[in-house]
């Protein structure tokens, strides 16, 4: 049996291979690419409050929630600070 981390990496590679074969782009990859860019820069600009925050206190958000059947594209992910992300999510899901 493979260790959990190794198993997860194998599953992600397989998911990417299968989705690329059928012409789909996996939803989790867009957020990962944006997260990598924020981490490399060391900070992220919140698209809501327009303030610059250290990379470890910003989150990658789907502008239109995937739970509502929306598709994932480059234009559907944004950087939000923790406070704005909580406000947005609470507004969308009534929490």
Give per-10-residue mean pLDDT for the chain (95 aa). Answer: 62 55 55 80 89 90 74 75 92 73
How much is the pLDDT for 7? 56
| Domains of the chain in sequence order | 4-16+25-93 (1.10.30)
3-state helix vs strand vs coil in the chain, percent to 5: 55, 15, 25
Apex CA 40: angle with CA 36 and CA 51, to 5°? 90
């Amino acid at each position: 049996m493979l260790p959990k981390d190794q198993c997860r990496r194998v599953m992600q590679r397989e998911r990417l291979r299968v989705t690329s074969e059928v012409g789909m782009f996996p939803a989790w990859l867009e957020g990962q690419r944006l997260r990598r860019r924020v981490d490399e820069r060391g900070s992220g600009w919140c698209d809501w409050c327009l303030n610059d925050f250290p990379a470890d206190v910003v989150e990658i958000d789907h502008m239109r929630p995937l739970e509502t059947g929306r598709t994932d594209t480059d234009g559907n992910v944004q950087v939000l600070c923790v406070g704005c992300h909580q406000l947005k999510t609470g507004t969308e899901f009534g929490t």
